C-alpha cells in the first residue's frame, strides 16, 4: 500500500513537473516592443503613433502618456516591459525619440529586462536645445524634461545592462536647424540621436570646413564621447531623414522599421 502511494505521488509529481515545464516552454515568447516618443495628445491609441506600422515578430505597443514627465509616466513603461521582457519572455525594442529616454530610465533604475537589442530612431535621451526655448518648454512636462542637461542628469545612460542600442540619427533639420546644435533631424541633434556623452556640434564626416569645425561621428563604436552600449548604426550622411514617423520614407523611423522587419524574429 505504501509503495503504491509512493508510486502515485511520484507519478503525480512527474506529471506536474512535465506540465509545468511544457507550459513554461510553451509560454516563452519573443516580442517586438514599440515605445513611442513625445505625444502632445497624451497617451496614443493603438498603433496610431506608428502610422499603423508594426514590423517584427509578435509586435506589441506600450502606450504611455507622452506629454508627462518621464518619471511620472515611466511606471506604465515598466509595466509593459515587465509583461513582455521578463521571465521566459524576451524582446527586441524599437524606440523613437523620448521613448529611448523612457526605456533607458527603466533599465538603469529598475532593470534588468530580457532585452536582446534595441533599435532607437531619433533618440531624445540626450535632450534637445529646443527645450531651452521657454515657449516650447512650457508646452508640456515632457518637453521640459528634454533640456539637455536635465535628461542627461536624470539617469545613468551607460548602464544599459548589456543591451546594445542601435542608433538611427537623421540630419534633415529644416527650419529647426537654427535652434539645434550640430546635425539634427528637426527635433534632436546628433549629440542625442547618435548617443554622444557630451553636448556640442556633432556632424557627418566631411562637414568640417575651414575654421568651421565640428566633431565628426564615426559609425559603430569608432569614435569617443559615446555612452556605453550605444552604437551608431544609421548616420544620415545624405541629410534626407527628418525626425517624424509621419514623414514616411523621409523620416528616421523608416530605416528602423525595415530593420525590425528584417532582423527582429
The three-class DSSP label of residue 99 is: helix
Using CB under 8 A, pick the residue from 15, 23, 45, 158 that binds another protein. Answer: 158
CB nearer to another protein: give 99 or 111: 111
User: Total residues contacting another protein (rule CB under 8 A)?
Assistant: 100
Q: Does 239 bind another protein (CB under 8 A)?
A: yes
Q: Which of residues 204-223 bind another protein (CB under 8 A)?
A: 204-212, 214, 216, 218-223
Alpha-carbon span 265 to 260, nearest angstrom: 8
Chain positions 33 to 72 lying near another protein, rule: CB under 8 A, are 57, 67, 69, 71-72
Residue with cell 569617443: 224
Which x/- pattern, by CB under 8 A, does the window 121-140 give for another protein? Answer: --------x--xxx--xx-x
Report, in Å, the least distance between residue 61 CB and another protein.
Answer: 19
**CB closer to another protein out of 8 and 87:** 87
Three cell numbers, residue 26: 510553451
Q: Pick the piece of the chain touching another protein (CB under 8 A) from 2-10, 15-23, 45-53, 201-209.
A: 201-209
Q: Does 154 bind another protein (CB under 8 A)?
A: yes
Contact between 228 and another protein by CB under 8 A: the answer reads yes
Task: Quote the least distance from Cβ 97 to another protein, whole Å.
Answer: 17
What is the CB-side half-sphere exposure of residue 76 using CA atoms within 13 A?
17
Largest CA distance in the chain: 95
Q: What are phi and psi of 173, to 5 degrees?
A: -75, -35
Which 8-state DSSP code applies to residue 3?
H
Question: Cβ closer to another protein: 97 or 207?
Answer: 207
Sequence-ordered list of residues with C-beta below 8 angstroms from that of 46, at least 6 positions apart, any chain = 52, 61, 63
The grid cell for 263 is 532582423
**Alpha-carbon span 209 to 23, nearest angstrom:** 62
Amino acid at each position: 500500500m505504501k509503495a503504491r502511494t509512493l508510486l502515485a505521488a511520484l507519478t503525480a509529481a512527474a506529471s506536474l513537473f512535465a506540465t509545468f515545464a511544457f507550459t513554461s516552454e510553451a509560454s516563452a515568447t519573443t516580442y517586438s516592443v514599440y515605445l513611442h516618443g513625445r505625444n502632445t495628445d497624451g497617451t496614443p491609441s493603438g498603433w496610431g503613433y506608428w502610422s499603423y506600422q508594426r514590423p517584427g515578430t509578435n509586435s506589441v505597443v506600450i502606450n504611455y502618456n507622452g506629454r508627462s514627465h518621464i518619471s511620472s509616466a515611466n511606471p506604465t513603461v515598466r509595466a509593459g516591459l515587465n509583461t513582455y521582457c521578463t521571465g521566459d519572455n524576451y524582446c527586441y525594442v524599437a524606440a523613437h525619440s523620448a521613448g529611448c529616454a523612457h526605456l533607458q530610465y527603466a533599465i538603469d533604475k529598475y532593470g534588468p529586462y530580457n532585452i536582446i537589442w534595441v533599435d532607437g530612431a531619433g533618440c531624445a535621451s540626450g535632450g534637445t536645445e529646443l527645450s531651452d526655448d521657454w515657449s516650447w518648454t512650457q508646452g508640456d512636462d515632457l518637453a521640459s524634461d528634454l533640456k539637455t542637461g536635465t535628461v542627461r542628469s536624470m539617469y545613468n545612460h551607460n548602464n544599459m545592462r548589456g543591451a546594445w542600442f542601435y542608433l538611427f540619427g537623421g540630419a534633415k533639420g529644416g527650419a529647426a536647424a537654427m535652434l539645434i546644435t550640430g546635425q539634427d533631424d528637426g527635433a534632436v541633434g546628433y549629440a542625442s540621436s547618435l548617443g554622444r556623452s557630451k553636448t556640442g556640434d556633432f556632424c557627418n564626416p566631411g562637414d568640417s570646413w575651414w575654421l568651421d569645425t565640428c566633431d565628426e561621428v564615426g559609425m559603430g563604436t569608432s569614435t569617443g564621447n559615446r555612452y556605453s552600449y550605444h552604437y551608431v548604426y544609421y548616420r544620415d550622411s545624405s541629410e534626407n531623414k527628418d525626425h517624424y514617423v509621419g514623414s514616411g520614407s523621409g523620416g528616421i523611423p523608416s530605416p528602423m522599421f525595415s530593420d525590425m522587419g528584417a532582423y527582429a524574429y
